[in-house]
Amino acid sequence: MLNVGVVSGNELASLVVERLADHGAVTQARSAPELRKERDSPILVSCADKSLPASKFDLVLSVADSTERCCPRHSPDVVLMETDPALLRNAVDQLWENRLLPFSRNKAAPRPKHRKGPAVMSPPDPAWSATAARTAERILRTSPLIVRVDHIGSTSIPGLPAKNVIDLQVGVANISDLDQVSAHLDAAGYRAVPGKWWDVPTSYQPEPEQWAKHLHVNSDPAQNVNIHVRVVGSAGWFFTLSFRDWMRADAGHVRRYAAEKQRIASKYANDVNALNYAAEKKLWFRDYVEPQLYAWVDSNGWRPEKREEPHFMECSNVAVNPNTVTAPEFSPAATRLLS
């Protein structure tokens, strides 16, 4: 069941809840017998108190009130801007058909929905970091075995055009936890992509087992998220975080990467998927990124922070999620870096 929160306090919020109920959603205010009677409804609607983090719900709705955007953790996923009741009902109708129902179906499906289409670059979007923060908090709630969640990939690099896909890295303490965390994520609606997954080893760190991961995708049709589950301290985990920070540290790298991404995306603009785009981009990583990245790591003594402090932690009334525990002490030996 999809758990939707509607931010309370706005006089139009009750209209949104009523309209969702008209479509067949179960509201938390109904009595237990009614809930049992309608237990097959795909969507549960609850009032979302402003003091609660968005991670308590699969999706949070709000009605045109800028005061609810105090920080990414509390910002809603959807803000309905219509204040005219008739227009607001119509907006809720469209949201139900185009996002909520597909979201609930994807969440319940045994396999992830296949994503089609070529790689299309979008301009840098400030909303990416907020979406990543909310999703990371939701993911942390899925399993006590998750050590940390980091925003990675192109959307985590300020100023870089990217596909409108959020990449998150889920860190676990050891390889035996990979399967359990993967099962927890899958049960929560973050569907596992079938098959065995490895990132391409670098020439500096060629051991395949150091690049093993599990891959998941989210169920929300309006915002794609890729979830890479890796062991903390493995070569793949280390490379991903160091690459992000290397890019953030030098605007020149960002410009070169943006140009390369756009070149490859244009080359394969008519493809039915992004596989050729991804394959050719790996060549740039091999020839340009690898030697410079490892040299930068070695010369700067870079090591991953125990966990990245998301921007929402600046909000004084935010309590730290109990699953956001300190990562194990990082072991440089696990990366086999050149001395």
Q: Per mean pLDDT, which range of 197-201, 250-254, 281-285, 301-305 is the poorest?
A: 301-305
User: With bands split at pLDDT 50, 70 and 90, how would you rate the model's confidence at 65?
Assistant: low
CA torsion, ordered 14, 16, 17, 19, to nearest 10 deg = 120
| pLDDT for 40 | 60
Q: Is residue 141 scored above 60 in pLDDT? A: yes
Per DSSP (E only), the strands in 208-337 are 212-217, 224-231
**How far is the C-alpha of 129 from the C-alpha of 160, rounded, in Å?**
13
pTM of the shown model: 0.86
The more confident residue out of 17 and 314 is 17
| CA gyration radius, the chain | 21
- With CA atoms as reference, report the closest residue to 331 among 297, 295, 304, 307: 304
